[in-house]
Amino acid sequence: METTLSLLNGFSVALEPSKLMFCLIGVFLGTAVGVLPGIGPALTVALLLPVTFKLDPAGSLIMFAGIYYGGMYGGSTTAILLNAPGESASLATALEGSKMAKAGRGGPALATSAIGSFVAGLIATIGLAFLAPWLVEIAIKFGPWDYFALMIVAFVTVSATFGDSPLRGLTSLFLGITLGLVGIDKLTGQARLTFGVPELLNGIEVTTLAVGLFAVGEALFVASKRFRDPEEIIPIKGSLWMSKEDWKRSWAPWLRGTAFGFPIGALPAGGAEVPTFLSYSTEKKLCKYPEEFGKGAIEGVAGPEAANNASAAGTLVPLLTLGLPTSATAAIMLAGFQQYGLNPGPLLFAEKPDLVWGLIASLFIANVMLVILNLPLIGLWVKLLAVPQPWLYSGILVFATMGTLAVNASPVELGLLFLFGYLGYLMRRYDYPVAPMVVGLILGPMAEAQLRRALQISLGDPMILLENPISATLLGLAFIALVAPFVMKGLNRFKAAED
Amino acid sequence: MTNDKLARGADRPALIVGLALLAVAGVVYYDASQQTITSNYGVGPTAMPYVACVGLVLLGLAHLVVAFRDGLPKPEEADTGALLWIVGGLVGLIACIAFGGGFTIAVTILFSFTARGFGRRAFAMDAAIGFVMGLTIFLVFAKLLTLLLPAGPLERLFL
């Protein structure tokens, strides 16, 4: 009952004209970047952080969430029509979706992914609205040791458990944690790893690292292999609408996809790829026409698309209630909260209910806007794919520079951007995941602060971490998650989320 | 581990990454050991650097082991020419900002060089697009967001 009231209150915020405007800009941008190959929601939010610094916090955060949801919708378009997933969460969609498009059934494939995303987004957002207050009740009782343990779990799952190679994931994570050390220590004022460069005293900006790794790194990587496989857009033939048969075969995969996506997104388990592939293999097993799989089965589009949207809503649960990001986009959204001096967590629900519930309510609105934007306007999004690649990447680099200079207009900052960009290129080249590095930079200092707070309370006794049941359990889980991939090589099938 | 790989010796990229990680660990250790401020309760500002240091050393050693086993994934050959154009554009950008050339010219350099790196041959047209783009962004930032991007002689004409 209380939740319903809060949610209604949230709608009164989210339905203000200015908030609706932000929401619309967000879903529009989100769909666009989801469609364009090479740029995802994480990068877009990172680029917008400095620009939104002076705008209304609630509006900007609503826009960021719109970008996140929009990116999940837009990714399916590229996956289906280009067989080139715009973001990693659409990899599974591309498997069947592009086959459907080649068979002249691109319309129904796009429709089932848009409607499936809508259904999943709606159910998962309801899940978020009702789960969040309950988790907040629990989180209120958390001590610094519990938060520390939770962050360790996130570190391990984001970098080691679901990656191709735990070694490369952990390397990326530890480099991020090391970068997080740069600057003045907040508790004592000690300068660390600044080497006498005054620009480094404030630490490494999240925007600079994220934009460098994602935008500059990606541009260099694409340029380095641009003679490879020219992609061809498959034109949409025939009706956009789904037949009765399509509906009948789609609704169950939508619901099952949601059932995979939401809980796995909510757990600190590394983003949207795991549930999309789980959904894909489940549908393959349950399908009445297994012979169609590999040739364009609609179930193989409906399920994974629902799963990836549901997981986006799922990642917002730990982000809003615990301040714990479990995907790169969530990590950068956390930086978005922080730039306004807001710290997601139980306190935020108590102090700024309008903002939190306005944000949750806006997700419902974003979903409605997205299904409208995506179905009738699909032709517009397809045209976006025709932007010449040189201009696309030149433009991305210009915006990357702009974002970095807006944070800190100094050549040192640009030099860092360039260094991180080259690092991002090398990491892509040798198959190191970049997301753990961003998570390490953002969560590293937070984990350090919680650990030191915990040890101050215990007067320096580290056993406090193991004496509290919650933190002890979480650390145990983290340990299992760290060791498991080395024990069971089978887990490596699931690649880590890069977005 | 096959004889074939042993014959070729260690995987160079993995070896370099391993040594680089050990070097970073060394820098972190040195920096932490030079710190003067300590904390009265619990752990001070040096604890976390040491933790990071231990992690980096372990990962560095693991890379050295990998170097003598499977090595890192073999990347396909890179188009060095394209990379050099983009790197040149980025260096030009930094130099232009550092020496007070202003945002617009810097963006013009970056946009046209990157487009060239991606295979376009219409350098003058791309430079024109970059110029208009840079000036527009500068003015939008200055007038609408009241954020001043680096200004050079050209930008001062509009302020």
Instruction: Write down the pLDDT at residue A492.
Output: 44
pLDDT: is A274 or B41 the higher one? A274
Reported as half-sphere exposure (CB side, CA atoms, 13 A), residue A17 has a value of 0
User: In sequence order, what are the beta bridge partners of A183?
Assistant: A192
Angle between helix A353-374 and A106-140 (nearest 10):
170
Instruction: Write down the pLDDT at residue B70.
Output: 79
- The pTM of the full predicted model, rounded to 2 decimals, is 0.86
Mean pLDDT (whole number) for A202-226? 87
Q: pLDDT band for B39, please (50, 70, 90 cuts).
A: low
Cα dihedral A178, A180, A186, A192 sign: positive
Residue to substitute from B34, B97, B120, interface A, most A β-carbons within 10 A: B97
Contact between B93 and A216 using a beta-carbon 8 Å cutoff: no
Distance from C-alpha of A19 to C-alpha of B112, rounded to nearest angstrom:
37
Across the interface, of B73, B78, B130, the residue whose CB is closest to A224 is B78
CA distance B9 to chain A (A): 19
Q: pLDDT band for A178, please (50, 70, 90 cuts).
A: very high
User: In sequence order, what are the beta bridge partners of A192?
Assistant: A183
The chain-wide mean pLDDT, for chain A, equals 85
Query: Has residue B5 got a pLDDT over 70?
Result: no
Residues of A in contact with B62 (CB under 8 A): 167
Mean pLDDT (whole number) for A283-292? 82
Q: pLDDT band for A312, please (50, 70, 90 cuts).
A: confident
Mean pLDDT (whole number) for B89-115? 93
pLDDT in tens, A68-88: 889 888 888 888 887 766 566
Lowest-confidence pick of A66-80, A119-133, A246-260: A66-80
Distance from C-alpha of A355 to C-alpha of A372, rounded to nearest angstrom:
25
Residues of A in contact with B75 (CB under 8 A): 429-430
CA distance B14 to chain A (A): 9
Contact between A193 and B141 using a beta-carbon 8 Å cutoff: no
Residue to substitute from A54, A178, A393, A426, interface B, most B β-carbons within 10 A: A178
Nearest-Cα residue of chain A relative to residue B62 = A167
Residue B39, SS3 per DSSP: coil
pLDDT in tens, B46-93: 888 999 999 999 999 999 998 888 788 888 788 888 899 999 999 999
B86-116 burial, b if ≥16 CB within 10 A, otherwise e? bbbbbbbbbebbeeebbbbbbbbbbbbbbbb
ipTM value = 0.89
Instruction: Write down the pLDDT at residue A230.
Output: 56
CA distance A265 to chain B (A): 28
Instruction: Write down the pLDDT at residue B130.
Output: 94
Query: Has residue A464 got a pLDDT over 90?
Result: no
CA distance A421 to chain B (A): 10
pLDDT in tens, A136-157: 888 888 889 999 998 998 888 8
